[in-house]
Amino acid sequence: MISGRLRFESSHATEFVDITKRLRDAVQESGLRTGRVYLQSLHTTLGLAINENEPLLLRDFQHLLERLAPGDAGYEHDDFERRFEISVDEPVNGHAHCRQLLLTGFATLLVEDGKLVLGRWQSVFAVELDGPRHRQVAMQMDGAFSPPHQPLGSPRRRRGSGQSAGWGDTSDGSREARLVEAELMRQLMVDPDPVAAPMRRLMEAGGKRLRPKLVQLTSQIGPRHDPLRAAELAAAVELLHNATLIHDDYVDESTYRRGRPTVAAEEGAERAIAVGDYYFAKATRLIAEIGINGVTSTMAQAIEAICASQIDDVALRGAFPGDHDSYLRVVRGKTAALFAAACASGALLSEAPSEVVEALRRYGDLLGVAFQMADDMVDFSPSSGKPVGLDIRQRVLSLPLIYAAEDREVGTEVRRLLSGALGDKEVGRVVELVTSSEALRRVGDEARGLVDAALRELESVELDGLRPTLVSLARSAVDRES
């Protein structure tokens, strides 16, 4: 038996959140060959449904629910004078409870040959009835398991423990991935609780651990491969990355990350700043203690590039959505700098030749930009598990938006909408316009082109058999939503 939680944020009052892909991925990761997946909504205003993901049909369902339990019908549940022990933020949502009664809060799905048994037109929806909110669906899998296949980007699940493993992606379940997780746990264990607890929660919520993977892979290229030292550097890089995320979330006023409240939202801005600073300092110390000047300098330059580009990023929000050149400049610092530094520092750790270090640095830089482009596309994917249009709401630099704003068909309307206040209606319309334009295809093509360029950087250097892994990692970083 494997247990876990599907966490997501809804973005509308009523919303059909398609969770089919996440369920398929979870089944694949678990190694369940034949059996059942049990789902249970953990909320009284969140239903579950299996039906067709056809936008007009979903609107029909929404209208049906509105007719059967209208929002303005007057519900005794909303008469707070007659209720006891209500909280100060009790919502007026009798209609949402009644609508949930018309749906179901449970679902059992069959698994055969390692795949969900679904008809051609069937999708699984979590049906938000009182959003936007942070939501959870409990999930259990039962049946016959084979040794698990865990592709890149998947959260590791612990068998038989009754709960999902807390830490992030250990991808192939490799010794290297486990070493990083152990090192992260070890580091957090010795830290004072006021800083360690928030960081632990962030780490437990998952994450792709791409940067540590890059460190560990590239640390195998030179003649001095030391897995323990590589794991120490990889863990420090991951701590550094998460420290930057904690400050980013405060700057972006984000309330959720990886399906959980951000440190700033949960603990306050003051604590978030302190936790970010603590792990920034600790990560730089751990990197320095490795004792290789080239590694220390490489990482220090990357940190500086990240911070400088964050300033540019915020400044550019005044000219939202910005242009391609500005986008590349910011992304090179904000995302690609740490990818490049992770690749170069792993290689430096192993004493790889300088031409290999530089080739890997360029590979990391191009991969980082491509990764960010793919990440931008996730904002328009209803199956990603993240609220659609969050980047638009937060006016975050995004290449699909830049391309949509340039589009001959939809550009004028996109620019007009983005220049005004962005409520649910406007964000929804922008998403429609972007998805109906060529913007996402252009971004996808550009990201794949960058991955091809990144791989070309590796053609002329000896990689000691690691080329297929670096190729696979690069492809998966971009094609995760395709």
Q: How far is the CB of 214 from another protein (least distance, A)?
A: 20
Residue from 56, 147, 293, 318 touching another protein (CB under 8 A): that is: 293
φ, ψ (nearest 5 deg) of residue 172: -85, 10
Specify the amino acid at residue 34: T
Q: Which is nearer to another protein, 60 or 270 (CB)?
A: 270
Q: Is the torsion defined by CA of 378, 383, 385, 388 positive or negative?
A: positive
Alpha-carbon distance of 311 to 304, in angstroms, equals 11
The secondary structure of the chain in percent helix, strand, coil, rounded to multiples of 5, reads: 55, 10, 30
Residue from 138, 165, 308, 453 touching another protein (CB under 8 A): that is: 308
Confirm if 3 and 139 have CB atoms less than 8 A apart. yes
Residue from 93, 284, 350, 398 touching another protein (CB under 8 A): that is: 284
Q: Which is nearer to another protein, 27 or 243 (CB)?
A: 243
Q: Which is nearer to another protein, 103 or 307 (CB)?
A: 307
Q: Is 103 in the site for another protein (CB under 8 A)?
A: no
Q: Is 296 in the site for another protein (CB under 8 A)?
A: yes
Going by the DSSP 8-state scheme, the letter that residue 41 receives in this structure is E
Q: Is 258 in the site for another protein (CB under 8 A)?
A: no
Alpha-carbon distance of 414 to 417, in angstroms, equals 5
Confirm if 195 and 267 have CB atoms less than 8 A apart. no
Q: How far is the CB of 477 from another protein (least distance, A)?
A: 25
SS3 call for 165: coil
Strands (E) across 243-361 are located at 256-257, 260-261
Q: How far is the CB of 103 from another protein (least distance, A)?
A: 40
Residue from 28, 140, 297, 381 touching another protein (CB under 8 A): that is: 297
Q: Which is nearer to another protein, 142 or 191 (CB)?
A: 191
Q: Is 241 in the site for another protein (CB under 8 A)?
A: no
Residue from 50, 138, 152, 307 touching another protein (CB under 8 A): that is: 307
Alpha-carbon distance of 148 to 433, in angstroms, equals 40
Q: Is 273 in the site for another protein (CB under 8 A)?
A: yes
Q: Which stretch binds another protein (CB under 8 A): 52-60, 176-184, 299-307, 356-364?
A: 299-307
Q: Is 7 in the site for another protein (CB under 8 A)?
A: no
Q: How far is the CB of 289 from another protein (least distance, A)?
A: 6
SS3 call for 79: coil
Q: How far is the CB of 153 from another protein (least distance, A)?
A: 28
Alpha carbon distance, N-terminus to C-terminus of the chain: 30
Alpha-carbon distance of 58 to 378, in angstroms, equals 21
Q: Which is nearer to another protein, 185 or 251 (CB)?
A: 251
Q: Is 320 in the site for another protein (CB under 8 A)?
A: no
Residue identified by tokens 């580091």 is: 187
Q: How far is the CB of 79 from another protein (least distance, A)?
A: 40
Q: Which stretch binds another protein (CB under 8 A): 142-150, 298-306, 431-439, 463-471?
A: 298-306
Going by the DSSP 8-state scheme, the letter that residue 333 receives in this structure is I
Q: How far is the CB of 251 from another protein (least distance, A)?
A: 4
Preceding peptide of 147 cis, ω within 30°:
no
Task: Count CB atoms within 10 A of the CB of residue 80.
Answer: 10
Q: Which stretch binds another protein (CB under 8 A): 24-32, 172-180, 226-234, 273-281?
A: 273-281
Q: Is the torsion defined by CA of 69, 72, 76, 78 positive or negative?
A: positive
Alpha-carbon distance of 187 to 179, in angstroms, equals 12
Which residues contribute to the site for another protein (CB under 8 A)?
A: 191-192, 194-195, 247, 250-251, 268-278, 280-282, 284-285, 288-289, 291, 293, 296-297, 299-301, 303-304, 306-308, 310-311, 314
